[in-house]
Structure 1
Amino acid sequence: MKPLSNRTSDFTDSVIRRMTRISNQYNAVNLSQGFPDFDPPKPILDALEKASHQGPHQYSITCGAQNFREALAQKQSRLMGRSINPETEIVVTCGSTEAMMAAMMTVANPGDKVIVFSPFYENYGADTILSGAVPIYVPLHPPAFNFNTDELEAAFKQDPKALILCNPSNPTGKVFNREELMIIADLAKKYDTYVITDEVYEHIVYQPHEHIYLASLPGMFERTISCSSLSKTYSITGWRLGYIIAPETIIDVAKKVHDFLTVGAAAPLQEAATVGLQFGDDYYLDLRKHYTAKRQLFLNGLDDIGLGYSTPQGAYYVMIDVSPYKADDDLAFCTWLAEHVGVGAVPGSTFFREDVNHLIRLHFAKKEATLYEALNRLADLKQKWQRHSF
């Protein structure tokens, strides 16, 4: 038989989702794939119950239900400091995963170059390759995961079509400050480059850090494709509701890509989630307090165990340094961790273009009881590792 397409030959399946399957296999506490084990806000669930009986149950408008887009435009206009037109500057997608893919296919032609910071959420490299583009990786240097301006400009000098910016960052929890964003913005304007942002953790930022929308900086709305979702903000990762905000000329193309990728996001879920988009500022302040407490609980536990880490500034992930265990293969280490310690983690190598195998990623978007259980299991890590044999 003729060979299959070779476009996926340079990457594997999602290691993150694979680690969930491995966690399930060994009944491990799953701190690998980033989804909560607590319920969404009650008003959203009540609205879902109503929508399940009353609808809508058929296709919504391809670019997103009218009331959903209007509520989203009102919310994001307030946050981004400009009036967002729900008719011409928004397209609703099936999660931010589709939003990023649609954005990439909107911008990039086969052979175009795209800058990707490393470490990166694993989909970005795959999105670039699937769209026929060529990734240019620029390192973020630990422990603060800052970029070197000269290295970044060297990438821009290669005439890229776009840069992908995850802010707050998955996997590191880095929040790019205004000075860093201005450097990126100035280079994007200097070299006529689009910026595709992934801002799904926009509301999970720890003081004194703040989230600044790149599109809100002078001259940047015109060349920024802002992608996000409701998954993390409202604890509804399984609903797969995302969106793109961009100028009309960009959205016109993104709508076509989205239409032929997925037709449209689920109509009853959009109806229910519209309630969340109408929450007041108190909800987002409480969300920050909620995750700040979880972060503190988890980091205190890691300190007690003696595991080194980089303190996240945003999102709900922690990069753990496991170099004292001298594991040559971080994927094998994470598999062992799930089987023998009972905690699911993601090997750091899946996020890095560089040769990195001494970091693993854990997340703390779990109930307190779940986090305590995970920490109790991790307390035996050193003892069990000393007894292990491969």
Structure 2
Amino acid sequence: MPVEAPQPIILIVDDLPENLAVLSELLQPYYDVRAATSGQKALRVAHIEPYPDLILLDVMMPEMNGYQVFEQLRADPITHDIPVIFVTAMDSKEAELHGLNTGAVDYITKPIILPIVLARVHTQLELKQARQHLVNQNAWLEAEVARRMMENELIQEVSIRALAHLAEIRDSETGYHILRTQGYVEQLAVGLQKNPDYTDALTNSYIKLLTRSAPLHDIGKVGIPDAILRKPGPLTPQEWDIMKTHAQLGSDAIEFAERDTVESVEFLSLAKEIARWHHEKWNGSGYPDGLIGDATPISARIMALADVFDALISPRVYKLPMPYEHARDIILKGRGTHFDPDVVDIFISKFDVFCEIADRYRDSHSDCEP
């Protein structure tokens, strides 16, 4: 057997018992009726669960009039959204307009006409039900949008990791390099966010996308021959020229992917910046474009320091890992030449955090202690 829906609850408020009797007799065949003979009692009854679906409120009552009761109903989060119909002997247009302007959903003048009262109550309950349906529908839609956004973010994350892994399996770097550099990038960006010069650019959403995009910084290495990429010794000048092309190769690959999108994808734009310019230097001696100072986007300036620090402290086929303090000194020495001074200052202030990140995601195959 299906469970019948409970009857809507109507609270009627009037200081005259005969008026309550008339309204109760009218409404009880259709609704669950509660009654109160004063404003104070009405406020107490309105807080009894289940709460009223509609209140019929007399205006002219002793001690606390209907407007005062209505004001307290609206001030209370529990009763704020309960629709109220004023029922009053004040039949002037000014009084009706005042009642509606306060926020009541309707205004009925005495002497009441019973069929009209019943029709207006029915209408307001239907409107309340429609409003609640919209609220529920909006809540469902918001939850669905949030679920799909989370799903899209997960797909982005997995796709980025898969692409970055293409570079990893051909280079001596590991998946831990991705986790470390992501951690460094996030720390640097959050630190710079407090600098008034970067507050507008480094929003929370930007930092989230920047951190997510960071693993693609070396995606261009998939285009570098193994003989150069995995060479255990120093590169010749000709080999080094080929190695340096990975920055543009990565940028071009991401740009090619962007062409297939209908709209601009912000994380791809950031990934392209990082891939192309994370080897630029503050003094213009970097590659591939020799950009000077803040001509290099802040995303790439942050990535530049994160990448170099991790390269210094990590083992490679051609070198042992460097102690953290030595790596710190090298980066500090490069302040204003290799690296953006502001980025270096954040690195120095958070050096202990960088060390913690490096320890947490240390390469498992390394036998060398930093």
TM-score range, shorter chain: under 0.3
TM (normalized to structure 2)?
0.25
Task: Name which one, 1 or 2, has greater alpha-carbon Rg.
Answer: 2
Instruction: Flag the structure with more relative contact order, 1 or 2, with Cα contacts below 8 A and sequence separation at least 6.
Output: 1
TM (normalized to structure 1)?
0.24
Choose between structure 1 and 2: higher helix proportion.
Answer: 2
